[in-house]
Amino acid sequence: MSLSFLAPIGLALAATLPIVVIFYLLKVRRRDEEVSSTFLWNDLIRDLAAHEPLQRLRWNLLLLLQLIALALIAFAVARPFSEQVGQKPVQAVLLVDGSASMQSSDVQPSRFAKAIEAARSTLAGLPENSLATAILVAAHPQVMVAATTDRRQVDRALIDAKPSGAAADMREALLLARSLGGDPVSRRIYLFTDGAFTLPPDLPDDLGSVQVVPVAQTSTGNLAVTTISTRPDPRDNRRQQLFTRVNNFSAFTAQAVITIAVDGQAVDERTVDFQPNGQTEQVFEELPAGAHWASVTVSDSRGDNGLTLDDTAYTVLTQRKPAQVLLVSGGNQFLEKVLTLLPNVDLYRIPAQRYLAVEADRFDIIVFDNYLPPLLPRGNLLVVNPPDRGPFRTTGQVRRPRVATWDREDPVLAFVDVRDMNVNVASKMDLPRWAKPLISTSEGIPLMASGQDGDRRVALLPFDLQQSNLPLMSAFPILMANLVNYLSPPGVVQVGDIQTGTAESLLPLPQVQTVRVSGPTDQAVEFRAGQGPITYGATDVPGLYRVQQIVQGGQQTVDDDLFAANLANPDESDIRPRLTGLNNPGPLDASLTVLQKEFWGLLAALVLPLLLVEWFWFHRRV
């Protein structure tokens, strides 16, 4: 074993050793104290003088300790190392599958625990000085520790890792491992997985050495609710129907009980026989009206069910509240008729002269027909033929304008054909900046516009409906239905049912200050509502998530909404190992190499007790 230095320049620090000695040779700056006589002190000088002028250097433990400490530091800074023969270090990337199927209990205590155990064992067996990276493969791969030689840090990260309840993105994880693994020659990717996934088809072929460490039993099965959805009953749209699909991911027959529950109360129960690798589709009709959510649970009475995470699926029963619409008009039969016929609309009518007597702010949509109040209400607006005042300025009128273009892509004009629309007289609107023309003449005069004015949505029709053929067209009820949809306030939850691991977008009401989301584990997270939607991504656990919109400093909840997260992934619920083609350990380079073993840490560790002894000694003397 030979001793060398990685940074021999560090030894130059030893040049400071004489400086320490000089400090001891220098005379200490002393405070003058007048005493009656030095007669009694003279005899004691020999014993007391710790520091004397340059000519004499006395034996001093402090000096010795300081010289030793400084010499150790200089030695450590030079990074001494000894050369030893050992295995070549590698750059190991430990990929631990954290997908939902890893929570299967076919191996005890779970596949995930087994994977962690195997990863720690692999980590311990890596050659000296190897770099290790640990990645948890989940819906989005999480780098727990990146490229470190500190094995304890990697080990702690592995112990702390938790599986998710979502499908894993194995392709992204493997690409990440390839990027973080560094040099392909020394890179070793270890994948600790149950192999219960289909290999992504578009994997690059330069992954290098990939060693798959399987942790699952080959003969295991699972029953799973893979689909759940609801729709309004065609005969009574206040009632809902529920459709579900349950799969038997097993090579054997099985029998199971499928239970449907509404708001937590079981309402139906069916016993179903499954063929090997078979499935059943069930429809539950006439769910109780007014229910908020439903769930389907499969419980096996006979068969193999290795994963419980997908035994229950939830769905939120959409209960869209009817839009509260206020029609302010001197009398418009067309508007009244069409709004009355539209579903999900509660219509209120008042003449313009009584507008100021009603509390307009409590309506979701206000339709102003040939009228505009001096102060606009807070709700969304449909403004028909507005007078020339307020925010909607006109620059004159146009007679018999011809429709030239309309925006077919805009949801407001979906399935609406206005090519035959004729208008007698239309106002030339000076459109605000937030408004987008939807229907225009060849001169660019807008005949319809919409836009978001701050928190409010506004749609504009700059002509009198009764002075056009629009109300007589088949497009009119479709246009009005689209407009009501556009102007109806959306709920806070954008998608009622999502897959675990995907993000939910939340759109709080304008007056809301805080949004609180409580997951199935009852852990609540609060968000400050501000500008724009909130993205909530902690949906790894299947179940119901409650969204509360809170105002007045947390005192009042203005809206309480739900969304459901389900695994709903047959590929993930099929927990049978089927991974092939990825295992490519490559030629293991078992050759030996000369390793540099540094031990500056030991030297640094010696300095600390030395300094402590010096401190103790110094304070003992004073």
Q: Which residues bind other proteins (CB under 8 A)?
A: 27-45, 47-52, 621-622
Beta strands in 445-541 (DSSP E): 446-453, 456-461, 497-499, 504-506, 514-518, 524-528, 534-536
Shortest distance, position 21 Cβ to other proteins, whole Å: 19
Buried/exposed code over 564-588 (b: 16+ C-beta within 10 A; e: otherwise): bbbbbbeebbbbbbebeebeeeeee
Nearer residue to other proteins within complex by CB, 9 or 622: 622
Of 42 and 580, CB closest to other proteins: 42
Q: In terms of C-beta density within 10 A (0-12 exposed, 13-18 middle, 19 or more buried), how is residue 213 classed?
A: buried
Alpha carbons 218 and 306: distance in angstroms, whole number: 12
Pick the closer one to other proteins by CB: 31 or 433.
31
Minimum CB–partner distance for residue 56 and other proteins (Å): 12
Alpha carbons 410 and 561: distance in angstroms, whole number: 28
Task: Tell me how far, at minimum, the Cβ of 63 lies from other proteins, in Å.
Answer: 14
Q: How far is the CB of 620 from other proteins (least distance, A)?
A: 8
CA distance 158 to 128: 19
Q: What angle do CA 508, 510, 511 make, to 5 degrees?
A: 105
Min separation Cβ 60 and other proteins, Å: 11
Q: How far apart are CB 49 and other proteins at their closest, in Å?
A: 6
Q: Is 613 helix (H, G, I), strand (E, B) or coil?
A: helix
Pick 152 or 620: Cβ nearer other proteins: 620
Q: Any idea which residue has 């909607």 for tokens?
A: 392
CB of 30 or CB of 238, closer to other proteins = 30
38 or 591: whose CB is closer to other proteins? 38
- Nearest distance in Å: CB 33, other proteins: 5
**Containing H/E element for 426?**
strand 425-430
Q: How far is CA 612 from CA 50, 69, 74, 403, 574, in A?
A: 20, 11, 18, 91, 62
SS3 of 311, please?
coil
Q: Which is nearer to other proteins, 64 or 341 (CB)?
A: 64
Nearer to other proteins, 42 or 591 (CB): 42
Judged by CB, which is closer to other proteins: 44, or 257?
44
314 CB contacts (<8 Å, ≥6 apart)?
228, 293, 294, 295, 497, 542, 543, 544, 564, 565, 566
| Pair 231, 241: CB distance under 8 Å | yes
Q: Work out how close the CB of 28 gets to other proteins at its nearest, in angstroms, rounded to a whole number.
A: 5
Amino acid 495 reads V
Closest distance to other proteins from the beta carbon of 616 (Å):
14
- Give whichever of 27 and 152 is closer to other proteins, judged by the CB atom: 27
Q: How far is the CB of 26 from other proteins (least distance, A)?
A: 12
The Cα–Cα gap between 572 and 99 comes to: 8
Nearest distance from C-beta of residue 69 to other proteins, angstroms = 22
Q: Do you know the residue count of the chain? A: 622
Of 7, 28, 30, nearest in space to 80 by CA: 7
Supply the DSSP string of 42-99, one letter for each residue: HTTHHHH-SS--TT-----HHHHHHHHHHHHHHHHHT-EEEEEEEEPP-EEEEEEE-S
Which residue, 34 or 361, is less far from other proteins as judged by CB?
A: 34
Q: How far is the CB of 31 from other proteins (least distance, A)?
A: 5
Return the SS3 of 304: coil
Q: Minimal distance in Å, beta carbon 135 to other proteins?
A: 60
Q: Choose among 374, 450, 439, 373: nearest CA to 406.
A: 439
Tell me if 316 sits within 8 A of 496, measured CB to CB: yes
Q: What are phi and psi of 180, to 5 degrees?
A: -80, -20
Q: Give the residue with the Cβ less far from other proteins, 43 or 409.
A: 43
Nearest Cα neighbor of 377 from 363, 390, 391, 389 is: 363
> CB-wise, 34 or 205, nearer to other proteins?
34
Closest distance between other proteins and the C-beta of residue 55, in Å? 13
> Residue 7 or 44: which CB sits closer to other proteins?
44
Element (H, E) at 620: helix 600-621
Nearer to other proteins, 30 or 152 (CB): 30
DSSP 8-class letter at 102: G
Q: How far is the CB of 43 from other proteins (least distance, A)?
A: 6
Cβ neighbours, 10 Å, residue 272: 18
